């Protein structure tokens, strides 16, 4: 696979969720994308740490995720690329209205 500086849609959504959740970004709330989190960690885009075990989790510890500097740079680069691309596309809503007339 070619090394690229932009993110795929799922990767971007996950990284944005990690940014949004901040210090509360642990695996369970975003468990539907756990495999993707592991791929992002392998790429160096997020890092994880294990928290303390809790009685309400049956003694299991939470796995917390945080975005890395590389992940932040790639989110920013992807936003820049998408913004530039969207600026070259005409207003699709206006085109749809014109087609209906």
pLDDT digits (tens, 9 = 90+) for 20-77: 888 777 766 666 677 888 889 999 999 999 988 878 777 888 888 899 999 999 999 9
What kind and span of H or E run contains 83? helix 69-87
Contact 43, 8 (CB under 8 A): no
Distance CA 62, CA 38 (A): 15
In a domain, 42, yes or no: yes
pLDDT (0 to 100) of residue 9: 83
Range of the domain at 43: 9-53+60-100
Structure confidence at residue 1 as a pLDDT band (50, 70, 90): very low
In a domain, 4, yes or no: no
pLDDT (0 to 100) of residue 44: 96
Q: What is the CATH number of the domain that holds 17?
A: 1.10.10.10
Query: Which has more confidence, 72 or 86?
Result: 72
Helix (H, G, I), strand (E, B) or coil at 68: coil
Distance CA 10, CA 39 (A): 11
Number of domains in the chain: 1
In a domain, 22, yes or no: yes
What would the mean pLDDT of 3-18 be, rounded to a whole number?
Answer: 81
């Amino acid at each position: 696979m070619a090394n690229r500086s932009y993110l795929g849609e799922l990767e971007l959504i996950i990284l944005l969720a990690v940014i949004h959740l901040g210090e509360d970004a642990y695996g369970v709330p975003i468990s539907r994308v756990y495999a993707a989190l592991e791929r992002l960690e392998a790429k160096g885009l997020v890092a994880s740490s294990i928290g303390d075990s809790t009685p309400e989790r049956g003694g299991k510890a939470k796995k917390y995720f945080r975005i890395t500097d590389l992940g932040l740079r790639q989110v920013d680069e992807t936003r820049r690329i998408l913004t530039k691309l969207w600026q070259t596309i005409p207003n699709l809503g206006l085109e749809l209205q014109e087609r209906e007339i």
